[in-house]
């Protein structure tokens, strides 16, 4: 990918803070595009993958759409729509909550768990490739990103 100046053909930035924001936005797009290509053969979007991982983390305990929405990486995602698409693919179940009929419980299916297992190694290898840093540099990057968000 190289330097941000080369990538967007801009010689200089107003200041380093402006450059950092542009760099983060551009890098986000790069990562989403790369992940989309990785998931496309499995008929998944990065957001659908995120929902499946959230549900797998529930360890068989059903959760609600609003709980999924709260845990989504992309807060602008429509969790209800994503869950419906995953349901149509047989990757999740939607069941009426016995305690509150207005609430819907979401649970990952065996098919959903199998899909995650199938692509897990590929995702892990791709993450290392996308990031292109040493383990120590990745730790430093994570620390800096945590600090950036305050």
Q: Is 55 exposed, middle or buried (0-12, 13-18, 19+ CB in 10 A)?
A: buried
93 close to 107: Cβ distance less than 8 angstroms: yes
Residue 38 lies in a domain: yes
Q: For the chain, how many structural domains are there in total?
A: 1
**Residues 45-103 pLDDT 10s:** 999 999 999 999 999 999 999 999 999 998 888 999 999 999 999 999 998 867 776 78
Taking a C-beta distance cutoff of 8 angstroms, is the pair 51, 86 a contact?
yes
pLDDT at 1: 62
Please tell me the pTM assigned to this model.
Answer: 0.87
Per-residue confidence (pLDDT) for residue 2, from 0 to 100: 83
**For 32, how many CA atoms within 13 A lie in the half-sphere containing its CB?**
11
Domain that holds residue 88: 14-148
**98 within some domain:** yes
């Amino acid at each position: 990918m190289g330097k941000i100046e080369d990538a967007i053909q801009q010689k200089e930035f107003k200041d380093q803070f402006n450059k950092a924001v542009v760099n983060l936005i551009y890098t986000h797009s790069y990562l989403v595009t790369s992940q989309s290509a990785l998931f496309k053969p499995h008929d998944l979007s990065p957001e659908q993958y995120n929902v499946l991982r959230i549900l797998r983390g529930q360890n068989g305990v059903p959760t609600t759409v609003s709980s999924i929405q709260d845990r989504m990486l992309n807060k602008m995602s429509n969790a209800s729509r994503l869950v419906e698409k995953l349901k149509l693919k047989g990757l999740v179940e939607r069941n009426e909550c016995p305690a509150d009929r207005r609430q819907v419980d979401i649970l990952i299916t065996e098919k959903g768990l199998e899909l995650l297992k199938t692509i897990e190694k590929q995702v892990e290898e791709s993450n290392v490739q996308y990031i292109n840093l040493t383990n120590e540099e990745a730790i430093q990057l994570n620390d800096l990103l945590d600090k950036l968000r305050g």
